[in-house]
Amino acid sequence: MTQSKDTTLTRITDLGVQFGDAPVLRNISLTLRAGEITTVVGPNGSGKSTLLRCLIGAQRPDRGEISHAPGLRIGYVPQKLHIDPTLPLTVARFLSLPSRVSAAAAREALDRAGAGDLYGRQMARLSGGQFQRVLLARALLSRPHLLILDEATQGLDQPGAAAFYQRIEQVRAELGCAVLMVSHDLHVVMAASDRVICLNGHICCEGAPEQVAQAEEYRALFGTGTQGALALYRHDHNHRHDHDHVHGPGCAHDHDHDHPHDHEAAE
Ligand code: ADP
Ligand code: MG
């Protein structure tokens, strides 16, 4: 596909996902455009990973539609990937799973991901930051038009996370790809994103970072301070959407969210 700045890569229309009786996502409509960095924020259990998995075709929506531009290539960095530490597996070999890639392509992707020196290393011996860069390299192998990252900086310290986001911006500049990521690093999100989507089962609000930061819905979820990631875990879920929102569809209902895992990640 050819893409210019306003090319629509992916359009989601009225998406809904339900696991058993529990609706996890509802009324999600969203357009992703070429070159744009979009960040999804939201409490644990708010459906962020499910939304991303729908986009890559790993989760089938119960309702709505997802349409991708013809020939769209997506690179995906999952939230979790467990590799058996006893399994001998070099970075080079890992990049050739499940389908073989040339050494040149593997090296190019590693370079782009800032992991050029890791080619011959054992996966099990990589640090958290190195492992994330290798996952990024793997997502870049296809030279994606759309790069999707699910909490890619989880487990990295602050400088590590900041460096990772800088790397993402550089990749975007080099490949011209759009980026859709889930992140909890709020201050970095605010600095590095063109657009922020605040998700809590539905889209609570969305817009430019500074707009979203001012939105009632966002403040109800994340607080008003600049405490960064910690603010995420202090918020009160029992917010009401009685206000006008930034660009948000259908938030006129109340909802009491109950997410038992919310406070675990604050440690
Ligand atoms: P987030 O990424 O925002 O933390 P998820 O999308 O992972 O949220 O999960 C949203 C909700 O859906 C959670 O309550 C989770 O337990 C549930 N869920 C996710 N995947 C499945 C699945 N395959 N089967 C049943 N429930 C699921
Ligand atoms: Mg998740």
Question: Could you please report the per-residue DSSP string of 198-244?
Answer: EESSSEEEEESHHHHHH-HHHHHHH-SS--GGGGGGT--S--B--S-
**Where is 195: in which H helix or E strand?**
strand 195-199
Q: Cis link prior to 159 (omega < 30° from 0)?
A: no
| Ligand 1 atom at minimal distance to the Cα of residue 46 | 3
Report pLDDT digits (tens) over 106-148: 999 999 999 999 999 999 999 988 999 999 999 999 999 999 9
Average pLDDT on 82-96 reads 93
Spacing, Cα 50 to ligand 1 middle (Å): 6
Q: What's the pLDDT band for 150 if we cut at 50, 70, 90?
A: very high
Model pLDDT, residue 46: 95
Ligand with minimal distance to 260 CA: 1
With H, G, I as helix, E, B as strand and everything else as coil, classify residue 248. Answer: coil
* pLDDT reported for residue 216: 85
Q: Whose CA is nearest to atom 20 of ligand 1?
A: 50
pLDDT tens digit string along 3-38? 676 799 999 999 999 999 999 999 999 999 999 999
The band of 224, judged by pLDDT with boundaries at 50, 70 and 90, is low
Fold of the 8-73+144-264 domain: Rossmann fold (3.40.50)
**pLDDT reading at 251 higher than 50:** no
| Residue 35 beta carbon below 6 angstroms from any ligand 1 atom | no
**What pTM value is reported for the model?**
0.83
- Residue 80 reports pLDDT greater than 60: yes
CA distances to 27, 172, 206 from 193, in Å: 23, 12, 12
Domain edges within the chain: 8-73+144-264, 82-140
The DSSP call for residue 69 is: P
pLDDT digits (tens, 9 = 90+) for 173-213: 999 999 999 988 777 777 788 999 999 999 999 998 888 88
